Amino acid sequence: MSVSGASVSCEDQILRSLDRLPPFSPILNRLMASLASEEVSFGDLAALIEKDTVVAGNVLRLVNSALYGLPGTVSSVRHAVAILGLNKLRNVVMGMSISRVWRGARTPEGWSAARFNVHSVATAILADLLAQKAPVPYPEGAFVAGLLHDLGKLLIATAMPREFGLIQALSETGGAALEECERQIIGTNHSALSGLALRKWNLPQPIQTAVAFHHAPGLANGGQLDLSHVVEAADQLAIDLGHSLPPPEHQPHGSSEPLLAALGLSDQVPELVAQFGPEFEALRAFF
């Protein structure tokens, strides 16, 4: 994914910044491991959650929210786990936990942890919804791929703050796509860096690929329909709905319409947006 010896140096420097991010909680470590096929049971996960009072409280708040509309109050983490199901619970807890890690990262002026978290979680929810309707491989990885698709941007900001500022300035004034601006300044781009970071974390290959090629999904899976197409569409749809990482005045013009059409989902956009709204608002309260 490098284009020169200089870019190799940049990649190494940026990827080393992974070790400077705040450490993952035991829950998040276990959930990440479970994505790489380590078995995790309802009982084990509930026991882990019960040891983290913040996460346990948030899970109970979520399951008792209007999103689920339960007739009574759920006061047991194990009951909440049974209601949400393993995949949904894993997604929810990862979203909550990752946002806590991101907030603790040391970032330069001009970086907004709040916008980054909002865009990441919005993309994750939309990717999960799209993957339930589009015949893509490994749909169960859609939420995590959406959640982590822009990790490379955070790594650039933390590892190379000066270059991050130059990239932002070039993107805002030059009219070029962000990834092209990144290549001009550091010789690589955030998508490639995100994919390399997920490789270091040993996440499943389909998630690595979806993240690494979410701005060029035609290069993934031999040009066939891929999870990267879902992440690309979810990323742009999140922006269309107002949940962008750059401030709106600096967001390049784009549209999710052709991307959703390529997935065969043009006529389902109103339903998708209607499903997205309540889930996003329920999760937004936690980050």
DSSP state of 248: G
Structural domains counted in the chain: 2
For CA atoms 111, 114, 115, 116, the dihedral sign is positive
* CATH value at residue 242: 1.10.3210.10
Which residues span the domain enclosing 38? 23-104
Half-sphere exposure (Cβ direction) of 187: Cα atoms closer than 13 Å: 14
The 10s digit of each residue's pLDDT in 25-64 is 888 888 888 776 556 677 888 888 888 888 899 899 999 9
Final residue of a structural domain among 39, 70, 104:
104
Q: How confident is the model at residue 8 (pLDDT cuts 50, 70, 90)?
A: low
- pLDDT score for 157: 94
Query: What pLDDT is recorded for position 247?
Result: 62
Whether residue 261 is found in the same domain as residue 284: yes
Same domain, 131 and 203: yes
pTM summary value: 0.90
Q: Which tens digits make up the pLDDT trace of 170-184? A: 988 877 888 999 999
Render pLDDT for 206-244 as a digit per residue (tens, 0 to 9). Answer: 999 999 999 999 999 888 899 999 999 999 999 999 998
Which residue would you say has higher pLDDT here, 121 or 250?
A: 121
Shared-domain flag, residues 120 and 227: yes
Clarify whether residues 191 and 272 are in a common domain: yes
pLDDT over threshold 90, residue 267 = yes
Considering the domain architecture, whether residues 172 and 259 belong to the same structural domain is answered as yes
For the chain, the three-class secondary structure string (H helix, E strand, C coil) is CCCCHHHHHHHHHHHHHHHHCCCCCHHHHHHHHHHCCCCCCHHHHHHHHHCCHHHHHHHHHHHCCCCCCCCCCCCCHHHHHHHHCHHHHHHHHHHHHHHHHHHCCCCCCCCCHHHHHHHHHHHHHHHHHHHCCCCCCCHHHHHHHHHHCCHHHHHHHHHCHHHHHHHHHHHHHHCCCHHHHHHHHHCCCHHHHHHHHHHHCCCCHHHHHHHHCCCCHHHCHHHCCCHHHHHHHHHHHHHHCCCCCCCHHHCCCCCCHHHHHHCCCHHHHHHHHHHHHHHHHHHHCCC
Shared domain check, 96 and 137: no
Q: What whole-number percentage of the chain has pLDDT above 70?
A: 93
Residue of 195, 104, 186, 118 lying closest to 151 (CA atoms): 195
Degrees to nearest 5, angle at CA 186 with 220 and 98: 65
Across residues 270-274, what is the average pLDDT?
Answer: 94
* Mean pLDDT confidence for 250-265: 84
pLDDT of residue 250: 53
Q: Are residues 66 and 184 in the same domain?
A: no
Residue 151: both structure tokens together: 């990790």
Q: Looking at the structure, do residues 137 and 42 belong to the same domain, yes or no?
A: no
Three-state DSSP at 182 gives helix
Quick one: pLDDT at residue 96?
A: 86
**Mean pLDDT, rounded, for 65-84:** 89
With 70 as the cut, is the pLDDT of residue 132 above it? yes
Among the candidates 66, 85, 104, a domain finishes at 104
Same domain, 69 and 125: no
Inter-residue contact 161 to 105 (CB < 8 Å): no
Q: Which of 104, 129, 160 is the last residue of a domain?
A: 104
Mean pLDDT of the chain: 87
